[in-house]
Amino acid sequence: MHNTVQEQLTYREAMREAIREAMLHDANVFLMGEDVGHYGGCYAVSKGLLQEFGESRIIDTPLSESGFVGAGIGAAMGGMRPIVEVMTVNFSLLALDQIVNNAATLRHMSGGQISVPIVIRMATGAGKQLAAQHSHSLENWYAHVPGIKVIAPATVADARYMLAMALADPDPVMLFEHVMLYNHKAPVPNPTDCPAMAQAVVRKQGPDITLVSYGGSLLKALEAAHALAEQQINAEVIDLRCLRPLDTETLFASVNKTHRLLVVDEGWRTGSLAGEICALVAEHCFWTLDAPPQRVCSQEVPIPYPKHLEEAATPQVEQIVTTAKQIMYR
Amino acid sequence: MKTITMPSFGADMEQGKLTEWNVKPGDTVHKGEIIATIETMKGLIDMEVFDDGVIEQLLIEPGSEVPVGEPIATLRRLGDVAVEAPPVKAPLVEKSATPLQTDQAAHISSPPPETTATIASQPDLALSANQGHQTSPLISPAARYQAELQGINWGALPAGSGPNGAIVLADLERYIQADQQQLNVTTPTAAPRSIEQDVNTLKMRQAIAAVVSQSKREIPHYYLSHDISLTHALQWLKKYNEDRQPESRILINALIYCAIAKALQKFPAFNGFYQNNQFQPAEQVHLGNAINLRQGGLMVAAIHNAEALSPVSMMDKLKDQVIRAREGHLKMSEMQDATITISNLGDRGSDSILGVIFPPQVALLGIGRVREVAWVEGQHIKPVTIVSISLAADHRVTDGHDGARLLNKINKLLQKPEQLV
C-alpha cells in the first residue's frame, strides 16, 4: 500500500482492504456468504480474498440466508468474529428471524452471558436498475430493533475503517453498503478520517438549514447543498453514519443552530428513519424550529425497473434543492 | 429578605408584563438601580430597586404578565442573612402566548397526505382561523420563543413571510430592526410595526380614557387663564443665548416651567394629591410634563424637585425626558411622582388650554402658544409677545381666588427672569 494522499481508492476497494486487514489482524475473523469466494462477491468486494486466505476463511455458502446467517450467529457465540455477507438487504428478510429473534436477543435473554459479535454486511438501495426485489432500502427495519447496531458508511474513509469498529463491538452490527457507492473514489484515507462508529459527522457546515442523510443519499445531499450555496442558502449536511444508536447530540446541535431540518432518506416515507428523525427533532428542538421539519424519501411504490422511473421514485438532487428552498420560504 | 413585587405605575394599572431583567441572581444592586423593564398600558417603564442588596431569585420569566403586587423577585438586603427562601411561584394571569384554539390545533396536528406532503400543501390554517372567534397569528416555534425572550407581543405582529402568513425568525429580525430604527420612522422598514402600534395605541387610549373619565366624574374643575407678557423673559433669553452654541441655548419653555415650579412652592394647595376625601400637599414640586408620543397617546413624566432647578438644568431635563419617553425608557419614579401636570400645546398652535386634571392631582397648568398680540400698556397699543397660561383646578381644594393668585405669581416671576436663575 502506498499511503500517499494523491492515490485514489474506491469504496469497494476500501471495504476489501478493511476485510483483509481484519483477517490479517485476527485469526478468528472469517468471511461467509453467497458467491463471496470464487465469484469474488456479487459487488466484487471480496475479489481475490479467496486466493489470499483460502477456503477455510472465505466461505461460499448455499443460497440460504437463514442458514448461513444462523451459522454466523452460532460461530460468533462460539468466540469467532464472523463477517457475514448477504447479497442485498432484500434477501436479508429471509434471515430476519435469525437476526431479530436470535442475534438481537441473546445477550438480553442470557442475562448478559452470551455475546454475538457478528458483523452482517449487505448491499442496499436503488440506482442500478435491478428492479423491485433488489433495490429497496430496508435498513430502517433493522434500526428499529434493540440489541443490534446499524451502520451505513457513506464515504471511502468510513468504508475503510468502520468495519474494524463493527468487529470490535461485542454485539451484532449490521453494515449497509449502498450499491451506488461502490465505484465512488476518494484519496486513500487515514484512520483519523473515521471518527467513532456511533458518531454522526457534519460533512459540510452551514447556518441556514440542516440536511440529514446517510449512505447513498449523502452524496445527493452534499450535491444539493452545493447547488443551494449558489442560491445563497448555506446548508449544513449531517452524515448519520450510525442509524442505531442515533447520534442525537450532533443532530440537535445542528438543528438548534439552523432552525430548519430536511431529512433525505431513500427508505419509503411511511414509518421511515426520516420520520423518526423528524419526531426526535420535534420533541427536542421544538422551540428552535422556524419551519416544519421535512423529508425527501422514496415514493411509496416498489422501486421500478426503468431508469427514468427508478430515478423518479428515489430522492434526487433537484427535489432536495426544491424542498430546502420551500423550508427557507424561498 | 425582601420580596420585590410587580409595581403599580398608576391606580388604573392591574398587571404588568416583565419585558426584561437587567439583573441575575447573585447581582449586587443599589438603591435606584434599574433592575427590570416592565411593559404596561403606558409603555415600557424601567423599574428601580429601593434597597441595597443582592438579588437572590428571579421568580418570573421575561414575557410573563403578572398582577400588581405579585412577587417577581427576592432581594437579600445588606445585613440580611442568606437563607434558602421557599420558592414563591407567581401565577401567570394571562400569557400573551395564548394556546392555540382546539380546532386550529387539530388542523396543525393532522398528518399531511401520505406521500405528497410539502410545505405548500399543508392545511390552510388561515381558513380555520376564521370561525367566529379571535385567534393568534401563526408563528414558528423559534420566532415565538425569540419574541417571548425579547418581550415582543407577537400576538400583535402583522402577518409574516411564512406559509399562510406565519411569522418566522426573519420577520422577527426585520421587526426588531425596524423597532430600533423607530426614531427614524420614515424608513420603509418600519412598516411592519403598524399593527403593533395600533394595539399599543389602543391600550394607551384605554388607559387615558379611564383616567380622564374618573377625573371629570369626580373632580369639580374650575378654569382660569392669564395672558402673560414675555417681553422681559425674551429679552433676558436673547442675551443669555447670544454667545452660546445652539445645543446649550435655553428655550422660553424652560423659563416658564421654572416660574411655574417656583410659584407652586408658594401655593402648595395646587401641588399634591387629593385622596380619601382629603388633600395632602406635597413637599416638593414634581412637575408632571405631559409628553405626546409620536405613535399616539401621551405620557406624564415627573421633573423631580422642579422648584430647585435653574433654567439651564430645567432645559436639560426637558430634552432628556422627551427623548426617553418616546423611546419608552422612563423610570418608575418619573411615572408615579408627579404632583401637578403641565400641558403645553403651544407648539401645536392652540392659544390656551382648558385641561383635565390627572387624578389624584388637583391642578393642571396649560401653556398656550407664544404669540404676538396687540397689547395695551398705559395709553399705547404695541406688539407684545405673550403666552396664555391657564389653570384647571380642583374646586374641592382651592377656589378661583387662589387660582388667580397662583397665575399672577407666575406672571410676576416671568417679569423678572434673572431671579429664576
pLDDT in tens, B355-389: 999 989 999 999 999 999 999 988 899 999 999 99
> Residue B181's pLDDT band (boundaries 50, 70, 90)?
low
Q: Report the DSSP beta bridge partners of residue B257.
A: none
Instruction: Examine the residue annotation and report whether A134 is marked as an active-site residue of this protein.
Output: yes
What pLDDT is attached to residue B191? 40
What mean pLDDT is predicted for residues B197-206?
66
Q: What is the spatial distance between Cα B187 and Cα B189, in angstroms, rounded to a whole number?
A: 5
Q: What is the spatial distance between Cα B304 and Cα B419, in angstroms, rounded to a whole number?
A: 20
ipTM of the complex: 0.74
- On the question of pLDDT at A328 being above 90, the answer is yes
pLDDT tens track for B234-249: 999 999 888 888 778 8
Q: Which of A38-42, B42-46, B231-235, B393-397 has the lowest mean pLDDT?
A: B42-46
> Nearest to residue B65, comparing CAs of B28, B17, B103?
B17
- Antiparallel, parallel or unpaired: β A8-10 and A185-187: antiparallel
The CA distance from B37 to the nearest CA of chain A, in Å, is 24
What pLDDT is attached to residue A131? 95
Say whether residue A286 is in contact with chain B using an 8 A CB cutoff.
yes
Q: What is the spatial distance between Cα B53 and Cα B44, in angstroms, rounded to a whole number?
A: 25
Query: Cβ–Cβ of A269/B141 closer than 8 Å?
Result: no
Higher-pLDDT residue of B292, A120: A120
Cross-chain CB nearest to B168 (options A291, A300, A326): A291
- Map grid coordinates 392652540 to a residue: B350
Third-level CATH fold of B2-77 = OB fold (Dihydrolipoamide Acetyltransferase, E2P) (2.40.50)
What mean pLDDT is predicted for residues A245-273?
97
Work out the end-to-end distance of chain A between its first and last CA atoms, rounded to an integer number of angstroms.
49
Greatest mean pLDDT range, A108-122, B179-193, B265-279: A108-122
Strands, DSSP E only, in B22-135? Answer: 28-29, 34-40, 43-48, 53-58, 65-67, 71-77
> Residue A2's pLDDT band (boundaries 50, 70, 90)?
low
- On the question of pLDDT at B204 being above 80, the answer is no
Q: Hey, what amino acid is at B134?
A: Q
- On the question of pLDDT at A177 being above 50, the answer is yes
- On the question of pLDDT at B71 being above 50, the answer is yes
pLDDT tens track for B216-237: 989 999 999 999 999 999 999 9
Residue to mutate among A258, A260, A270, A329, with most B CBs inside 10 A, is A329
Q: Which residues contact B140 (CB under 8 A, 6 or more apart)?
A: A259, A289, A290, A291, B162, B166, B167, B168, B169
> Residue B79's pLDDT band (boundaries 50, 70, 90)?
low
| Helix, coil or strand: residue B288 | strand
Strands, DSSP E only, in B262-319? Answer: 272-275, 278-281, 287-292, 298-303
> Nearest to residue B394, comparing CAs of B240, B223, B250, B214?
B223
Domains A8-192 and A201-327 share a fold: yes
What is the residue-averaged pLDDT of chain B?
Answer: 78
Q: What is the spatial distance between Cα A103 and Cα A72, in angstroms, rounded to a whole number?
A: 10
Distances (CA, A) of B218 to B101, B186, B278, B312, B365: 42, 42, 13, 38, 19
What pLDDT is attached to residue B135? 60
Cross-chain CB nearest to B142 (options A287, A300, A326): A287
- On the question of pLDDT at B99 being above 70, the answer is no
What mean pLDDT is predicted for residues A21-27?
97
Query: Cβ–Cβ of A269/B115 closer than 8 Å?
Result: yes
The contact set of B with A (CB < 8 A) is 114-115, 117-120, 122, 140-145, 161-163, 168-170
Q: What is the spatial distance between Cα A33 and Cα A19, in angstroms, rounded to a whole number?
A: 14
pTM of this structure: 0.55
What pLDDT is attached to residue B132? 37
**Eight-class DSSP state of B192:** G
User: What's the full length of chain A, in residues?
Assistant: 330
Grid coordinates representing B59 are 421568580
Using CA coordinates, name the residue in chain B closest to A327: B119
Query: Cβ–Cβ of A259/B142 closer than 8 Å?
Result: yes
What is the residue-averaged pLDDT of chain A?
Answer: 96
What mean pLDDT is predicted for residues B341-350?
86
Q: What is the spatial distance between Cα B150 and Cα B152, in angstroms, rounded to a whole number?
A: 6
Query: Cβ–Cβ of B162/A289 closer than 8 Å?
Result: no
What would the CATH number be for the domain defined by A201-327?
3.40.50.920
- Map grid coordinates 420560504 to a residue: A329
Using CA coordinates, name the residue in chain B closest to A259: B142
Query: Cβ–Cβ of B140/A299 closer than 8 Å?
Result: no
Higher-pLDDT residue of A249, B196: A249
> Residue B121's pLDDT band (boundaries 50, 70, 90)?
very low
Higher-pLDDT residue of B196, A256: A256
CA-based angle B357:B360:B363, to the nearest 5? 35
> Residue A64's pLDDT band (boundaries 50, 70, 90)?
very high
Environment class of B102 (CB within 10 Å of its CB; exposed 0-12, middle 13-18, buried 19+): exposed
Q: Which residues contact B9 (CB under 8 A, 6 or more apart)?
A: B16, B38, B40, B42, B45, B332, B335, B336
The CA distance from A219 to the nearest CA of chain B, in Å, is 23
What residue spans define the domains of chain A?
8-192, 201-327
Using a CB-CB cut-off of 8 Å, the residues of chain B touching A252 are none
Residue to mutate among B122, B167, B169, B174, with most A CBs inside 10 A, is B169
Helices A216-229 and A317-327, interaxial angle, to 10°? 60
Higher-pLDDT residue of B177, A208: A208
Pick the CATH number of A8-192 from 3.40.50.300, 3.40.190.10, 3.40.50.970, 3.30.300.90: 3.40.50.970
- Map grid coordinates 449536511 to a residue: A237
Q: Which of A219-233, B12-26, B112-126 has the lowest mean pLDDT?
A: B112-126
- On the question of pLDDT at A33 being above 70, the answer is yes
- On the question of pLDDT at B149 being above 60, the answer is yes
What would the CATH number be for the domain defined by B221-420?
3.30.559.10
Query: Cβ–Cβ of A270/B145 closer than 8 Å?
Result: no
Higher-pLDDT residue of B30, A262: A262
| Per-residue exposure over A68-78, b if at least 16 CB sit within 10 Å of its own CB, e if not | bbbbbbebbbe
Q: Which of A65, A236, A266, A276 is catalytic?
A: A65
Say whether residue A323 is in contact with chain B using an 8 A CB cutoff.
yes
Environment class of B367 (CB within 10 Å of its CB; exposed 0-12, middle 13-18, buried 19+): buried
Percent of chain B predicted with pLDDT > 70: 78
What residue spans define the domains of chain B?
2-77, 221-420
Query: Cβ–Cβ of A329/B144 closer than 8 Å?
Result: no
Q: How many Cα atoms within 13 Å fall on the side-chain side of residue A218? A: 25
Query: Cβ–Cβ of A292/B161 closer than 8 Å?
Result: no
Q: How many Cα atoms within 13 Å fall on the side-chain side of residue A309? A: 12
What pLDDT is attached to residue B90? 40
What pLDDT is attached to residue B7? 83
B37 with B46: CB under 8 angstroms?
yes
The CA distance from B18 to the nearest CA of chain A, in Å, is 20
Query: Cβ–Cβ of A290/B163 closer than 8 Å?
Result: no
Using a CB-CB cut-off of 8 Å, the residues of chain A touching B119 are 291-292, 294, 326-327
Q: Which of A8-22, B167-181, B334-348 has the lowest mean pLDDT?
A: B167-181
Instruction: Examine the residue annotation and report whether A65 is marked as an active-site residue of this protein.
Output: yes
